[in-house]
A and B are shown apart, each in its own frame.
Chain A
Amino acid sequence: MKALSTLIVFSAAAGMVAAVYGADDLQNASRDDAQWLMPAKNYAGTRFSGLKQIDTGNVGELQVAWEFSTGVLRGHESAPLVVGDTMYVITPYPNFLYALDLKEAGALKWVYKPDPTRAAQGVACCDVVNRGAAYADGKIFLNTLDNYTVAVDAKSGKEVWRTKLGDISKGETMTMAPLVVKDKVLVGNSGGEMGVRGWLTALDAGSGKIAWRAYSTGPDKDVLIGDDFRSPYAKGSDLGVHTWQADQWRTGGGTVWGWLSYDPDADLVYYGTSNPGPWNAAQRPGDNAWTTALFARKPETGMAKWAYQLNPHDLYDYDGVNENVLLDLTIDGKQRKVLAHADRNGFMYIVDRLTGELVSAQPYASVNSISRIDTTTGRPVMVDAKKSEEGKMVRDICPAASGGKDWQPMAYSPQTGLLYVPHNNVCMDMEGMRVGYIAGTPFVGAKVAMKAGPGGYRGAFTAWDPVTAKKVWSIEERFPVWSGALVTAGGVAFYGTLDRWFKAVDAKTGKELWKFRTGAGVIGQPIAFQGPDGKQYVAVLAGPGGWAGAVVAGNLDTKVPYGALGFVNAMKDLGDYTSQGGTLYVFALPTTTTNQAGREPVHQSAR
């Protein structure tokens, strides 16, 4: 932690130069609300901006300051980054990285093109998305769909190093956003639908050399489980082998395609692992450790401190990869260091992040597949009538495979004490089918048709109190809310919808304060920053796709219910609301109504 206060003062000043932070300074640097250095804003993953120029009183006047077309048509899930006076935007495949000049209303500084192999598109389960890049130490780190982690010089756009981490012919891709901790870049693989063996890998930020790799399945030596490991709900060694039949763990999933967070005090990195493969659970008797599990690891060595398998012997593709938001809360009169995790299974888990013990788990979405989470065993209590089976179509399972919530990350405001959860209200019919493993092809074995959940709407934006474990308010949406959430000190929460709205709501009440009609559906992660002109901006990428939007992104056939692993059946009408297309929108208040009087309107300074 060196001389950070100086750097922050510099960067908050107008006309700043791009600051160079050492990777170990990120914790402090991320407190600077002028910038947005990692997709989740900070290590705790709160997506909270302390900026308050835009507030509940004036957000209704928000207007477009400038736009940027990405030239890519697939699903845009990423968060822009802001470092000094430059914004960085990464696109879905072919993973262009654009640098835009904030002093010149988004003038293009450079574009870096990593040229991923075209064939990678055929291996990505759920659109060819990318969830963001990360900044540290003068470099932008990104993952390509064809399994390279790349470091790019933030100033020049020149490639510094690239390291190959996986193999598309084994079904591997990379779609997640890296997290930089100290001198390491942490990345994970995708391919839980392809019989991929999941891992988290640490690379040296300076050289790109692989420091360690922690598999999610297999013997303890591969999972990096040693003497310091404690699992509150599972006993025994080599569970990553013994909870499978024969060597099924080798093709058993547990990929790491979601979010990482980090607690510098505990020095632990947190993340979750994906579903087991194949979806057809009849083919893989046992608990299938450590799929659908939360892990806490030491960043230096990768050694696991604890793990908690959320959905042992998963029946429904309930991945455990959703974000873990790190919060210090007073629960039942006790100070607790917890993580909040809205699982695919529809329950909001509050977990002691030092021990991995469950504090509470209550449903935040419509659930009929699980009656409750047993606080003694940590396990879901399954509802027999809804258990998926081979050769039998089980009707109306809630939530669907896409979960109460999928990847779309929630935000937390320390002002309101609430989590802002973008999520789904989707159920499914599911039939397990025998499937053989053929490397590089899907290993799913299920026929799925999804549909709207109870109430007929398909998505919601919900404010949740993590202390009382209760819903505070909820806004129903036509389609799954597949965008990330942002909340600011101005008391405003932001999210986007697949039917082409970007919305601002009152963080206390959920009252809609403003909405903007985007060119295409929004599934990106909104951010806030302060420009070189001292004004607050809010930015988001539009461009529908991802699993929910695959019907539009991939031009799928709406006459067949089973497309996109069954999501098409629930999204047949998406094409009536949006077409394809990636555009970045940057919003600001009009000059005349803020304390910026006398300044040139930003949109007129474009060259």
Chain B
Amino acid sequence: MRYPIFLSVAAVCVTALMASSASAQEPKPTAEQAAVDAQLLRVPISGYVIGGKARGAAIANPYENDRTALVQGRMLFDAMNCSGCHAAEGGGGMGPPLSDKDWIYGNSPGNIYLTISQGRPNGMPSFENLGSDSIWKLVTYVRSLSGLHQ
């Protein structure tokens, strides 16, 4: 690894966090987690559905309205260099703005979760190895940038 020796405390924590969640010893997902994953994949994104109503439903962020998670999400936003691409306060740069009303891949908590976790083809990398807990905290912070319900 080529990490410079002067890593910030936050980055060290995140690096450790990435290492643990990405390790081969990761436990098999519980039945509960598997159910959440299945639900996530059916979160509606545009409201445009062929052959009747959407069968999936919006999924709640476990950290919705959680002030502590909001602060942690903001720290992760800097520590994982999200702010490098999307800019401090989400004004955008290499990546699109997160502070405006235009959401390319949907603005519901489930949409944003999947965008962070899977990445997107036009340059958004996958942060799957961050683990679901951290990703939900990022969702809390990202939605707050445009004044959406936290």
B92 interface residue per 8 A CB criterion:
yes
Per-position binary interface string of chain A over residues 252-292, scored 1 when its CB falls under 8 Å from any chain B CB and 0 otherwise: 00000000000000000000000000000001000000000
Closest CB in chain A relative to B150 CB, distance in Å? 18
**If A246-B5, A435-B81 touch, does A119 touch B123 (CB 8 Å cutoff)?**
yes
> Separation in Å of the B86 CB from the closest CB of chain A?
9
How many chain B residues touch A (CB < 8 A): the figure is 37
- Mask, A125-162, CB within 8 Å of B = 1, is 11000000000000000000000000000000000000
Q: Which of B41-49, B53-61, B95-103 contacts A (4 or more CB under 8 A)?
A: B95-103
Interface members, chain B 2-18 (any A CB < 8 Å) = 2-8, 10-12, 14-15
How far apart are B76's CB and chain A's nearest CB, in angstroms?
A: 12
Query: Is there a chain B Cβ closer than 8 Å to A554's Cβ?
Result: yes
Taking a contact as CB atoms under 8 Å apart, the answer to whether A562 and B96 are in contact is no
Residues B89 and A562 in contact, CB atoms below 8 Å apart:
yes
Q: Within the assembled complex, what's the spacing in Å between the Cα atoms of A444 and B78? A: 11
A540-575 vs B, Cβ < 8 Å mask (1 yes, 0 no): 000000000010001111011111110010000000
B116 interface contact, C-beta 8 A: no
Q: Are A559 and B99 in contact (CB under 8 A)?
A: yes
Q: B92, A564: Cβ atoms under 8 Å?
A: yes
CB pair A441–B99 under 8 Å, yes or no, is: no
Interface residue B125 (Cβ < 8 Å from any Cβ of A):
yes
Residues of chain B lying within 8 A (CB to CB) of residue A565: 87, 93
Contacts of B99 in A (CB 8 A): 557, 559-560
| Distance (whole angstroms) from the CB of A448 to the closest CB of chain B | 9
Known: A248-B4, A250-B2, A440-B125. A564 touches B97 (CB 8 A): no
Given A556-B93, A560-B87, are A246 and B121 also a contact pair (CB < 8 Å)?
no
Nearest-Cβ distance from residue A242 to partner chain B, whole angstroms: 16
Given A436-B3, A441-B80, is A118 in contact with B122 using a C-beta cutoff of 8 Å? yes
The 0/1 profile, CB within 8 Å of B marked 1, for residues 20-31 of chain A is 000000000000
Chain B residue contacts of A283, Cβ below 8 A? 4, 6
**Whose C-beta in chain B lies nearest to the C-beta of A119?**
B123
Among A119, A122, A283, find the residue whose CB has the most chain B CB atoms closer than 10 A: A122
| A197 CB → nearest B CB, Å | 9
A288 to B121, CA, bound (A): 35
Of residues 70 through 116 on chain B, the ones whose CB sits less than 8 Å from some CB of chain A are 78-81, 84-85, 87-97, 99-100, 102
Whether A560 lies near B94 (C-beta < 8 A) is no
C-alpha spacing A434/B89, complex, angstroms? 17
Q: Given A283-B6, A436-B8 in contact, is the A554-B93 Cβ separation under 8 Å?
A: yes
> Do the beta carbons of A436 and B125 come within 8 Å of each other?
no
CB-based contact A122/B100 at 8 Å: no
Contacts of B93 in A (CB 8 A): 125, 550, 554, 556, 563-565, 568
Q: Which residue of A433, A554, A560 contacts B89 across the interface (Cβ within 8 Å)?
A: A560
Q: Does A447 contact B (CB under 8 A)?
A: yes
Beta-carbon contact of B85 and A122 below 8 Å: yes
Inter-subunit contact A560/B125 (CB<8 Å): no
In angstroms, Cα B130 to Cα A332, docked, is 63
Contacts of B3 in A (CB 8 A): 436-437
Determine whether the beta carbon of A122 is less than 8 Å from that of B80.
no
Residue A120 CB within 8 A of the other chain: yes
B8 near A123: Cβ-Cβ < 8 Å:
no
A245 interface hit (Cβ, 8 Å):
yes
Q: How long is the Cα–Cα vector from A561 to B90 in the complex, in angstroms?
A: 10
Report the Cα distance A123→B119, complex, angstroms: 13
Measured CB to CB, the nearest residue on chain B to A561 is: B91
A interface residues, Cβ below 8 angstroms from B: 118-126, 193, 245-248, 250-251, 283, 433-444, 447, 550, 554-557, 559-565, 568
**Interface CB pairs A-B, < 8 A, 13:** A118-B121, A118-B123, A119-B125, A122-B94, A122-B122, A245-B4, A283-B4, A433-B78, A441-B85, A556-B87, A560-B87, A560-B90, A560-B99
B interface residues, Cβ below 8 angstroms from A: 2-8, 10-12, 14-15, 78-81, 84-85, 87-97, 99-100, 102, 121-125
